[in-house]
Amino acid sequence: MATSRQVSLVVRRFLWGQRNYSTGDIKTATTKVSRFAEIDARIEKALPPKIKALWNHPAGLKTIHFWAPSWKWCLVFAGMADYTRPAEKLSWRQSAALAATGIIWSRYSMVVVPKNWNLFSVNVFLALTGVMQLSRIFLYNKSLEKSKEDESPEPIMGPRIGDDKDDGVNFGPPVVTDPGEGFGPPGTGPPSTK
């Protein structure tokens, strides 16, 4: 029990760099400071007041809330680099995933505490990049359909139902004028409903 508590205290000290925290005796606890806390205090002392606010913000430079969205900008830049690729080489699934991720996490970044504007901005741009690529793919597919329609010859068809012209060639279903016609021998047909 004592060992697991000691380990958890060391891990907590290492992860959060708590000032004036030690796993040693109570008497020496106020004199020992973690290395992270020392470095943090030196940096904080050297910073101007406006940047110090960013440094100590809950989503500031010392937290994952800053660095995860900062690295996510690489996805936006990769999506923007795909603007130079031809539309036939783009993946609609990948573009849809980027757009959906951007839309979902943009909403989440406004709900989560602390409010993270870096996360919001990267996800808005990610959604825009994905939607732009999807529109390029959609327009490319429409142009393919149009070019196939232009290249295909007019289909050969016979007279349609209701044409008065009877040249002996009829590729459509037979034109039925009498409801009883075509159901067996002449004069027989479905039972009368009169």
| pLDDT tens digits, one per residue of 55-97 | 888 888 888 888 888 999 999 999 999 999 999 999 999 999 9
- Residue 183, pLDDT > 60, answer no
Residue 65 identity (one-letter amino acid): H
Please give the pLDDT value at position 85: 93
Which is higher by pLDDT, 106 or 148? 106
Residue 80's contacts (CB-CB under 8 Å, 6 or more residues apart) are 129
**Contact by Cβ (8 Å): 127, 97:** no
**Among residues 15, 108, 116, 109, which one has the least CA distance to residue 59?**
116
- Residue 37, pLDDT > 90, answer no
- Residue 100, pLDDT > 90, answer yes
Please give the pLDDT value at position 148: 84
Burial tier of 102 (Cβ tally within 10 Å: 0-12, 13-18, 19+): buried
Please give the pLDDT value at position 138: 95
Q: Alpha-carbon torsion 152, 157, 163, 165, what sign?
A: positive
